Amino acid sequence: MDQQKRIFGNELKYLEEVLNTEFRSSKGSAMMQRLERAFAERFNTNYAISFINGTATMHAVLEAIGIRPGDEVIVPPLTMSSTAFVVLQAGATPVFADVNESTFLIDAKSIENCVTKNTKAIITVSLYGLSPDMDAIMTLANKYNFFVLEDNAQCVLGRYKNRLVGTLGHAASYSFQSSKHLTSGEGGMIITNDLTLAENVRRICSLGYAGVGANKGKITKDDIQDPNYSRHIMLGWNYRLPELCSAVALAQLENIDYLVNTRVSVARLYLEALNGCEWLIPQFVGDDYESTYWAFTVKLENSKITWSDFRNKFRELGGDGIYAAWKLTYLEPMFETMSFLGREKFISHQTYAKGICPIAESLQPQLLQFKTNYWNENDALKQADCLKNTIKYFNTLEKEGVLL
């Protein structure tokens, strides 16, 4: 950790290259194409298609594989709600599978219990930088013939059984939102080895244009300067990544190892701070897994200490804020009232209420998420020391009998 900041590479240089084009249509997708080629190469995949954000990515894939009203897509409840929202956007029904109590990730046994004749896909989430058990999930996918989309917004360059996370399912989604490993403020990427899928995803991303394809992001002047040219061969959305964002994302990609390894190094400092503490349990990372620690997350297992008490003491001792885990998606008010902008009429025999995923419901209030995006090593060391001192404070209170 020697750069002291997150933006230090070719971001400004590439932005100037874009601005120098004055956004001429003839130069309109050059940076986007550079980004996509570089991303595909780095992730060892045939196709990479950029998007305006990491929610549009998943929506486009579901549309591209033909998800329709009456279909069901299995998702985890413990993650950012976009993973379920995209199912609703496609007119389908989100079905929530429970998580593993140690890894906090969607559990293959719960997935199988959720499978019906209407199950068409599953969106896995590599929460906090860690992949779920993808071999078990892909076995189910082959058994029941459903599509697997990896939501890797929080996992870049993670490994699963010595394989790159993102190459384990049928397609994978990434996010360049401001808190992610790589950022351009906003943005996203889909990777896949399936040519037909890539062609359809590109068209859905690009207004259904006939002249785009797996490796071509925009139509050309030669295409449109013809009065008989038929532009749209299918319905699509304008989900394309702007050139300015592409420029920043490309520069970030060039420094991907540093940006990922910095977070991993910060997580190791937190792990050291936990040494000897039996009531803060970190997300379990198996021997065959490598997490890239979008956040360092622990479970608070001490009935005498509330989540707020721990967070408040941590901040009092100089720590930054601790984030809570997201409220489970199906417990959000919109699911209680079925406020789905008219899409509620497509929901098939689902009731969204407490009790659907008991493990996730038990875990969520206990999870403490610590930031890992510290680019100054001294800042990271300070946070680790604050964690250590907070643990020491509560251990002392317990020994003195103050905690009842």
For the chain, counts of helices (H) and of strands (E): 14, 14
**Residues 276 and 207: beta-carbon distance below 8 Å:** no
- Residue carrying the six token digits 């040219």: 229
For residues 127 and 337, what is the distance between their CA atoms, to the nearest angstrom?
27
For residues 95 and 111, what is the distance between their CA atoms, to the nearest angstrom?
9
Query: Would residue 344 be called left, alpha or beta, if left means φ above 0 and alpha means ψ between -120 and 50 degrees?
Result: alpha
Tokens of 32: 């986007």
- Residue carrying the six token digits 């996509």: 36
- Relative to beta strand 367-371, strand 295-300 is antiparallel
For residues 328 and 127, what is the distance between their CA atoms, to the nearest angstrom?
14
For residues 261 and 342, what is the distance between their CA atoms, to the nearest angstrom?
44
Give exposure, 313-344, as e/b (b: 16+ Cβ within 10 Å). Answer: bbeeeebeebeebbebbbbbebbeeeebeebe
For 163, the enclosing helix (H) or strand (E) is strand 163-164
**Residues 83 and 76: beta-carbon distance below 8 Å:** yes
| Whether residue 161 lies in the annotated active site | no
The DSSP letter of residue 16 is H
Tokens of 314: 């941590």
For residues 243 and 249, what is the distance between their CA atoms, to the nearest angstrom?
10
**Torsion sign across C-alpha atoms 67, 69, 72, 78:** positive
- Please tell me which residue in 27, 120, 161, 180 is annotated as part of the active site: 180
**Residues 394 and 135: beta-carbon distance below 8 Å:** no
Kindly list the catalytic residues. 180
